[in-house]
């Protein structure tokens, strides 16, 4: 083929020969002008084997900063010249990647507006996020709500100008010189950190605004059609309180106002489901500042739900062949040195405590304790697998600004288990853990989940223990299990635990949000560090492998997710008060007391409101507390041994025999159904 020609492979498999330097927009136009008007950005992948790429690129490169690479699959501007044989996808507005591109472009539009209104401002960086975008800026005067409104108004003007996003290149040295003269200390830092001497750096221009950026961007500012500046927050430059105080201005953007409106409607729904608000409203838990941040106090109603969760988990563990164990909250520092936590995890642990015989540390994990139980007596191959489970309290040091209700805490209860097995048993044990994880999600009302396989990163060998061959075997075992079960997964290099790879299961809640909870981890490191053994069938001593698994993740976090998933309206079997009883008047109290006794005898959690209040006020109170059933009783009910049933979300269902209601309620609890 002529050296001036390249091949373009389209998604349908067809291949076109075009002149070198042809753009993705040119290809789109050749297919259909209508298509060219609809596409936002292009995704390309070289057709020739990639020898260097993102996986091998220095993490401090400019490409790493912007999530791209000079080779391998990547997004490019529609106007970018194509210079090699590539597979080409033309992405429209309905593509998730295109949405992130328009948000990145919206960040540039916002930065343009900021500098036009407040030219003294210095810029940091402005990436897209899963929910919008932000831009870090330095300005001595804090931005007010009025300033944010003015920025949004000016952004509309920038969009109306429909300025093209143009990519330019200049030498690194020129970029450093220009930004230094302008006092743009953050841009100087980024260029120095993410590029090397002799590099060309990429800049993006729209109108008079120019920004150091890798891109890509939408064709012009006019494509940023629906946006909103939402808030501003403080942050220190490079996270160091000794540095300048920056301001992070947040916003979001979509391709149309319908999606923008839906986004804010969803945010309102999220706000209404906030577990911190509902936790207070329903009297479930509290965080007492006098005791310390990130430490949870479980109130009576929250404690009932916790007991129900833990009882189910313990019973299920025993049914699946686990032994329940308990280990101390503090252990000698020497133990954590042996396990490797002292070296690899100490930043997340509380400082050592000097006691009379040694230094001790609060446990951040239960695994070393379970290992000591395993090691306490000789093991034979006939004993394996050994499965230890514990709902154990652990303590991890979270920085003060990172804690968030039940979701990010300093002390929590981990439903931890550790399986010690022979290498040939590990696949079946991991399968058993995945079965258990699916049972947890299904039982608690989650029908959808995503799976990630977290691997080690060979370039960051100092962050992981063990030799490469062990990692390869462990990662292969996890991949094979997921593949065998037909579970789709996303592999993420560098996110494995320091002692081995892991499978992370992220549930999807009723609002479509992902929550990281369940995890299954392979560990070949700790058995070696603690010199664990079992006597094999051959009479020789062998080293077992370990599987770590936590299915709630933590009781606190799982409970927080449950609150938000159900908006506090828990399924019958989890509800702290399952039935509320309302006598119409004082003369019906005796019958109400008798009904309460029969319901409690059937194993139901019941609350009787005997206050001298009107019936409707009592019903309203139970409704606000999201009680599944409210039973009202007067003369008619007392005479016929019946109850008038009001069901949460359905209203008044009329009078039914008490015995029939009890059977219905018992069935709802036994079946653990999420509906009433």
Is the Cβ–Cβ distance between 549 and 521 less than 8 Å? yes
* pLDDT of 155 strictly over 50: yes
Per the annotation, does 108 bind a ligand?
Answer: no
Q: Which of 550, 566, 575 is nearest to 668 (CA)?
A: 575
As a whole number, mean pLDDT of residues 343-362 equals 92
5-92 has CATH 3.10.20.30 classification: yes
Compute the distance between CA of residue 39 and CA of residue 96 in angstroms, rounded to an integer.
Answer: 13
Mean of all residue pLDDT scores within the chain: 91
Distance of CA 218 to the CA centre of its chain: 28
296 and 556 Cβ atoms separated by less than 8 Å: yes
pLDDT band of residue 462 (cuts 50, 70, 90) is low
Write out the two tokens for 210.
Answer: 């120019």
Cis status of the peptide bond prior to 216, with omega within 30 of 0: yes
Q: What is the mean pLDDT of residues 215-244?
A: 92
Residues tagged active-site: 367, 396, 414, 416, 418, 502, 548
Does residue 57 surpass a pLDDT of 90?
no
Return the domain boundaries, the chain.
5-92, 96-270, 285-566, 572-671
**How many other C-beta atoms can be found within 10 angstroms of the C-beta atom of residue 466?**
18
Architecture of the domain delimited by 285-566: 2-Layer Sandwich (3.30)
Angle between helices 145-161 and 96-117 (to 10 degrees): 110
pLDDT over 80 (residue 59): no
Residue among 374, 373, 348 at smallest CA distance from 363:
348
pLDDT band at 68 (very low <50, low <70, confident <90, very high): very low
Helices 300-319 and 426-443, packing angle to 10 deg: 150
Tell me which CATH code domain 96-270 carries.
3.30.980.10
Token readout for 129 is 């996020």
- Give, in order, the Cα–Cα distances in Å from 308 to each of 312, 314, 374, 456, 572: 6, 10, 29, 37, 11
Q: pLDDT digit string (tens) for 39-49?
A: 999 999 998 75
Which pLDDT belongs to residue 461?
62
* Percent of the chain with pLDDT strictly greater than 90: 80
**Between residues 420 and 501, which one has the greater pLDDT?**
420
User: In percent, how much of the chain has pLDDT > 70?
Assistant: 95
CA distance 322 to 328: 19
pLDDT in tens, 544-560: 999 999 999 999 999 99
What is residue 219's DSSP assignment? S
Q: Indicate if the pLDDT at residue 389 is higher than 80.
A: yes
The answer to whether the CB of 24 falls within 8 A of the CB of 76 is yes
The answer, yes or no, to whether residue 286 has pLDDT greater than 80, is: yes
Can you tell me the distance from the alpha carbon of 392 to that of 409, in angstroms, rounded to the nearest whole number? 15
- On whether the CB atoms of residues 252 and 265 are closer than 8 A, the answer is no
How many degrees, rounded to 5, is the angle at CA 116 between CA 110 and CA 118?
90
Out of 1-10, 128-137, 322-331, 413-422, pick the least confident: 1-10
Longest distance between any two alpha carbons in the chain, whole Å: 99
Mean pLDDT, residues 351-362 taken together: 94
Q: Please report the pLDDT score of residue 49 as a whole number.
A: 59
- Residue 548 annotated as lining a ligand binding site: yes
Compute φ and ψ for 82, nearest 5 degrees. -90, 125
Long-range contact set of residues 455-461: C-beta below 8 Å, sequence gap at least 24: 455/491, 455/492, 455/493, 455/494, 455/495, 455/496, 455/501, 456/493, 456/494, 456/496, 456/501, 457/493, 457/494, 459/56, 459/59, 460/494
- Strands (DSSP E) along 242-307, which ranges? 245-254, 285-287, 296-298
Tokens 């081995």 found at: 500
Q: What's the pLDDT band for 54 if we cut at 50, 70, 90?
A: very low
Work out the average pLDDT over 617-634: 97
pLDDT of residue 53: 38
* CATH superfamily of this structure's domain 572-671: Anticodon-binding domain (3.40.50.800)
Please report the DSSP string for 545-612 in residue order.
EEEEEESSS-HHHHHHHHHHHHTT---TTT-SS-EEEEESSGGGHHHHHHHHHHHHHTT--EEE--SS
| 433 labeled binding residue | no
């Amino acid at each position: 083929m002529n050296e001036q020609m390249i091949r373009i492979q389209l998604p349908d498999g067809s291949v076109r020969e075009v002149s070198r330097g042809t753009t993705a927009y040119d290809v789109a136009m050749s297919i259909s002008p209508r298509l060219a008007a609809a596409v936002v950005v292009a995704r390309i992948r070289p057709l020739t084997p990639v020898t260097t790429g993102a996986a091998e690129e220095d993490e401090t490169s400019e490409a790493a900063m912007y999530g791209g690479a000079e080779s391998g699959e990547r997004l490019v501007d529609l106007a970018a010249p194509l210079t090699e044989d590539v597979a080409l996808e033309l992405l429209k507005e309905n593509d998730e990647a295109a949405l992130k591109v328009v948000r990145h472009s919206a960040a540039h539009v916002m930065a343009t507006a900021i500098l036009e209104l407040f030219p003294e401002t210095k810029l940091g960086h402005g990436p897209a996020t899963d929910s919008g975008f932000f831009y870090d800026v330095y300005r001595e005067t804090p931005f007010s709500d009025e300033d944010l409104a003015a920025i949004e108004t000016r952004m509309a003007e920038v969009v109306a100008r429909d300025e093209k996003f143009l990519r330019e290149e200049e030498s690194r040295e020129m970029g450093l010189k220009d930004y230094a003269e302008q006092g743009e200390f953050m841009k100087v830092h980024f260029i120095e950190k993410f590029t090397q001497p002799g590099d060309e750096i990429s800049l993006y221009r729209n109108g008079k605004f120019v920004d150091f950026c890798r891109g890509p961007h939408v064709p012009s500012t006019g494509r940023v059609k629906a946006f909103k500046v939402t808030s501003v927050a403080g942050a220190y430059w490079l996270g160091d309180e000794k540095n300048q105080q920056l301001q992070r201005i947040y916003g979001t953007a979509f391709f149309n106002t319908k999606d923008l409106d839906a986004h804010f409607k969803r945010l309102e729904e999220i706000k209404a489901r906030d577990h911190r608000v509902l936790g207070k409203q329903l009297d479930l838990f509290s965080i007492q500042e006098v005791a310390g941040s990130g430490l949870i106090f479980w109130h009576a109603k929250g404690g009932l739900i916790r007991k129900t969760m833990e009882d189910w988990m313990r019973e299920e563990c025993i049914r699946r062949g686990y032994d329940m164990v308990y280990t101390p909250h503090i252990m000698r520092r020497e133990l954590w040195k042996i396990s490797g936590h002292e070296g690899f995890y100490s930043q997340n642990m509380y400082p050592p405590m000097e006691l009379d015989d040694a230094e001790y540390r609060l446990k951040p994990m239960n695994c070393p304790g379970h290992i000591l139980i395993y090691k306490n007596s000789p093991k034979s191959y006939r004993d394996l697998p050994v499965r230890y489970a514990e709902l154990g309290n652990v303590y991890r040091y979270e920085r003060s600004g990172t804690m968030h209700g039940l979701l990010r805490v300093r002390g929590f209860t981990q439903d931890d288990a550790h399986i010690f097995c022979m290498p040939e048993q590990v696949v079946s044990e991991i399968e058993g853990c995945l079965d258990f994880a699916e049972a947890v999600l299904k039982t608690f009302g989650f029908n959808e989940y995503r799976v990630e396989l977290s691997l080690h990163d060979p370039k960051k060998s100092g962050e992981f223990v063990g030799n490469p061959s062990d990692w390869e075997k462990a990662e292969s075992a996890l991949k094979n299990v997921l593949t065998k079960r037909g579970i789709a997964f996303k592999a993420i290099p560098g996110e494995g635990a320091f002692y081995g790879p892991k499978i992370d299961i992220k549930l999807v809640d009723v609002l479509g949000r992902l929550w990281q909870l369940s995890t299954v981890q392979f560990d070949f490191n700790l058995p070696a560090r603690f010199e664990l053994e079992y006597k094999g069938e051959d009479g020789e001593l062998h080293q077992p492998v370990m599987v770590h698994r936590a299915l709630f993740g933590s009781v606190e976090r799982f409970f927080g997710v449950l609150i938000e998933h159900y908006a506090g309206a828990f399924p019958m079997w989890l509800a702290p008060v399952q039935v509320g009883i309302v006598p119409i008047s004082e003369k019906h109290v005796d019958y109400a007391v008798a009904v309460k006794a029969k319901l409690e005898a059937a194993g139901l959690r019941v609350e009787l409101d005997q206050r001298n209040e009107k019936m409707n006020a009592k019903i309203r109170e139970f409704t606000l507390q999201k009680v599944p059933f409210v039973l009202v009783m007067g003369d008619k009910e007392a005479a016929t041994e019946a109850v008038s049933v009001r069901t949460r979300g359905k209203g008044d269902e009329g009078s039914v025999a008490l015995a029939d209601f009890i059977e219905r309620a018992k069935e709802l609890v036994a079946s653990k159904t999420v509906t009433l």
